[in-house]
Every structure is written in structure tokens, then in C-alpha cells.
Amino acid sequence: MNKMFLRQILIRIVIAAALLEIFSIFRRQHAFQAYIERRKITFDDFPESYAKALNDSVARNEQPLESDYVSTYTGSKIPRTIHYIWFERIYPNHEGSSGGPSIGFGSPKLCREHNPSYEIRMWNATSAREFLSNEYAWFLPTYDGYRYPVSTLHV
């Protein structure tokens, strides 16, 4: 009889723990959904003039215009530069193709086509280390001390 009583208590403890876990999962899910709901952006979050212009363009069945970044964001401090990092034969025993990043995929060419006003900057091991030496000399001991290469791309 004693074993039967202990088994019933153990079963009740396991069931209670499972129910508490299920409750905890539902509580976390509810909290997450409430958080997302509070962060939701609605049409009312935009200025009235923007909402009117958008509604008018939709009523006239107009397509949204391409954004003209240069004239729209004249005060931007973010340089219009696309960086490619290519460290050729960075691993001592590397065999196979070691051409630039345009070999194997066309993203540098596509970036030039779709972003003609951007500077395309290619980096290699020498230019990257030189940049660090000139701009972040304090970081060179850490950079040089890495056991494995920081940025690599193998085709």
C-alpha cells in the first residue's frame, strides 16, 4: 500500500510539473505576442501628408516612384561604398581557384550595374592590414593574433 501511495504522489508531481511547463509556454507566447503587437506600425504612425499623398497615388492607380536617395537624403553621413573582401590563398595548403570574387558569381558586376553612383572597394589581405594599421593601430595585435583568417571566400 505504501508503494502505491508513493506512485500516486509521483504521478501527481509529474502531471503538475507538466502542467506548469505548459502554462509557462503559453505565458511566454502571450508575452511575446503582446510585445510584437505593441511594436506594430500602423498607417496612423506616419505624418498626415504622407498618408494623403500615398492614398492619392493609389486612387490614381500610380506605381510608387523609385526613391532618389541622393536628393532625398542630402545630409546622409553614410558613405555610398560597397566593400568586397577577397583574401587570395589565405590558407597555406589551399588548392584550386583563387580568382577574385567575380569568379563563380556576378555580384560585383551586378552591384556596379544597379548602384552606379557607389564606389566599389575591393580589399585583399595587404590593403585590409594597411587600413587597420592606419586607422586602428591599437587593434593590430589582436588581428595579427587570430589563429584563423578573419574574412575569407573560397570559390
Return the ∠ at Cα 32 (arms to 28 and 36), rounded to 5°.
170
pLDDT of residue 15: 94
CA distance 82 to 115: 9
- CA pair distance 70, 120, nearest whole angstrom: 17
What is residue 25's predicted lDDT score, i.e. its pLDDT?
92
Alpha carbon distance 9, 11 (integer Å): 5
Q: How far apart are CA 1 and CA 103, in angstroms?
A: 78
Helix (H) or strand (E) holding 15: helix 2-39
Record the cell numbers describing residue 96, joined without a space.
Answer: 584550386
pLDDT at 150: 65
Intervals of the chain under pLDDT 70: 1, 63-76, 87-106, 149-155
